[in-house]
């Protein structure tokens, strides 16, 4: 009798079969009638060698969900470092606490955005010890060096103190003080080495004089990070052997916009996940620590073939085409990493797909017309 089958993409893994996705059938398939009275026999000859098994039959997946990136692959140590989301009690962003209450006003200010649609504003209204914001639960390890970056803005010349101390404020691990002048957003950067281990240190930024301080983004990373990723996790991935690496995930693909990942990491807007279950530990926000360049750097370090998942649900096809062109031809280096805006013209092998459907870059180029301009304004391959 005739039976209808769906064409399915199936991958053999260490734990058995993984159904990667199906497409609707276009024709009927007819099976020969089985003789149910005849015994079933299967002969296996272990001496007979079959064809070569591709190492790409089994791979790994990085998805911006739950703790896969935050507290996982990402080396970032501060939560909500770009002050996304609604203000909590007292006008503070989630995960941040007040330093000083009397004579200090806290507001999420949408009129002075930086990476997110707002920044954290701290207004010192009268003379005193000042005030600012803090975050607890920072794990420092003795002998480890750390990088700190802050993007700050003030309404007039203002002295600002950044420090890391223990939870009881009895020991200062490191502090950095300096004066800022009014104007545009300014970056402060410093490094320090922890003198002792503290599993619950406190990070503070304090305005020490009357005036207004805006905080746009803060970063705290181990100095040995690999493109913003934890060095120890990268080394464990090497031990696992990752022949193929899929990114940026499944459900998260609908929320991801690759062009924003070309910005300097501190400037990338936080990404709000549509499904609340995707990022339950970060108020449904991803802070875009890993973009296309970081992902390809990781693949090169692991000697993995990159596999990108694209948004075929509600994003225009030109977006996918431009991403393919960027990955395989242009690979314009992030301006924050190279003042020369270096262009890489050696394509790296990759596959593009979604839900088990895989397309080569050339295949996508044939399916989707290339845009005439890239996000940075440069001409596309169509004009060359």
Residue range 42-101, pLDDT digits in tens = 888 888 888 887 877 888 999 999 999 999 999 999 999 999 999 998 999 999 999 997
Q: What is the mean pLDDT of residues 174-187?
A: 96
Q: What are phi and psi of 20, to 5 degrees?
A: -90, -20
Q: What is the mean pLDDT of residues 311-317?
A: 87
Q: Summarize pLDDT for 217-247 with one digit per residue, the tens.
A: 999 999 999 999 999 999 999 999 899 999 9
Q: Can you give the residue ranges of every domain in the chain?
A: 60-75+226-383, 89-222
Q: What is the mean pLDDT of residues 139-146?
A: 98
Please tell me the pTM assigned to this model: 0.77
Secondary structure class of 55 (helix, strand, coil): helix
Q: What local confidence, expressed as pLDDT, does residue 10 receive?
A: 29
Question: Which residue did the predictor score with more confidence, 2 or 203?
Answer: 203
Which CATH number is 89-222 given?
A: 2.60.120.260
Q: Which two tokens stand for residue 103?
A: 């004579």
Confidence of residue 281 (pLDDT cuts 50, 70, 90): very high
Whole-angstrom distance, CA of residue 268 vs CA of residue 216: 11
* Second-level CATH architecture of 60-75+226-383: Alpha-Beta Barrel (3.20)
Which residues on adjacent β-strands are paired with residue 22? 8
Whole-angstrom distance, CA of residue 151 vs CA of residue 217: 5
Asked which of 27-41, 65-79, 210-224, 262-276 is least confident by mean pLDDT, the reply is 27-41
Run of H or E residues at 322? helix 317-325
Q: What is the mean pLDDT of residues 151-156?
A: 97
Q: What is the mean pLDDT of residues 112-117?
A: 96
Nearest to 297 by CA among 288, 286, 306, 309: 306
Q: What local confidence, expressed as pLDDT, does residue 369 receive?
A: 43
Q: What is the DSSP string of 183-216?
A: SS-EEEEEEEE-SS-EEEEEEEEEE-SSEEEEEE
CA angle 86, 91, 96 (to 5 degrees): 80
Q: What local confidence, expressed as pLDDT, does residue 355 receive?
A: 37
Q: What are phi and psi of 57, to 5 degrees?
A: -65, -25
Sheet holding 104-109, edge to edge: 104-109, 119-124, 211-222, 145-154, 186-193
Whether residue 1 is predicted with pLDDT greater than 80 in this model: the reply is no
Whole-angstrom distance, CA of residue 124 vs CA of residue 68: 39
Q: What local confidence, expressed as pLDDT, does residue 29 receive?
A: 54
Question: Which residue did the predictor score with more confidence, 18 or 248?
Answer: 248
Which residues on adjacent β-strands are paired with residue 138? 201
Write down the mean pLDDT value for the chain.
Answer: 82
As a whole-number percent, the residues of the chain with pLDDT over 70 amount to 77
CA angle 223, 227, 232 (to 5 degrees): 65
Q: What is the mean pLDDT of residues 127-143?
A: 96
Q: What local confidence, expressed as pLDDT, does residue 102 receive?
A: 87
Q: What is the mean pLDDT of residues 148-159?
A: 97
């Amino acid at each position: 009798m005739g039976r209808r089958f769906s064409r399915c993409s199936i991958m053999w893994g260490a734990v058995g079969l993984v159904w990667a996705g199906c497409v609707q059938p276009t024709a009927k398939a007819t099976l020969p009638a089985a003789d149910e009275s005849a015994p079933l026999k299967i002969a296996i000859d272990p001496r007979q060698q079959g064809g070569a098994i591709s190492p790409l039959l089994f791979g790994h997946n990085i998805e911006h969900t739950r703790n896969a990136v935050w507290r996982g692959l990402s080396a970032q140590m501060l939560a909500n470092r770009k002050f996304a989301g609604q203000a909590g009690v007292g006008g503070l962003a989630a995960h941040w606490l007040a330093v000083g209450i009397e004579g200090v006003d806290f507001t999420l200010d949408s009129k002075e955005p930086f990476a997110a649609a707002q920044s954290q504003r701290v207004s010192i209204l009268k003379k005193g010890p000042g005030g600012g914001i803090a975050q607890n639960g920072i794990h420092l390890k003795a002998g480890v060096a750390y990088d700190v970056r802050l993007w700050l803005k003030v309404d007039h010349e203002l002295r600002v103190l950044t420090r890391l101390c223990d939870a009881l404020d009895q020991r200062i691990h490191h502090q950095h003080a300096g004066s800022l002048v009014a104007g545009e957003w300014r970056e402060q950067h410093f490094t320090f080495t922890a003198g002792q281990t503290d599993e619950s240190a406190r990070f503070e930024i304090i305005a020490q004089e009357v005036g207004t301080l805006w905080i746009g983004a803060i970063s705290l990373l181990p100095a040995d990070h690999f493109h913003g990723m934890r060095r120890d996790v990268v080394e464990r991935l090497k031990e696992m052997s990752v022949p193929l690496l899929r990114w940026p995930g499944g459900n998260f693909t609908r929320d991801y916009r690759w062009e924003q990942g070309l910005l300097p990491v501190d400037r990338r807007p936080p990404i709000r996940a549509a499904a609340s279950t995707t990022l339950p530990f970060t108020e449904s926000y991803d802070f875009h620590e890993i973009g296309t360049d970081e992902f390809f750097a990781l693949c090169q370090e692991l000697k993995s073939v990159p596999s990108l998942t694209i948004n075929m649900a509600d994003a225009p096809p030109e977006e996918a085409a431009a991403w393919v062109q960027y990955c395989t031809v242009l690979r314009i280096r992030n301006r924050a990493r190279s003042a020369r805006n270096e262009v890489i013209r050696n394509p790296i092998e990759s596959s593009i797909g979604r839900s088990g459907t895989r397309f080569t870059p050339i295949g996508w180029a044939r399916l989707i017309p290339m845009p005439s301009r890239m996000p940075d304004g440069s001409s596309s391959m169509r004009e060359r």
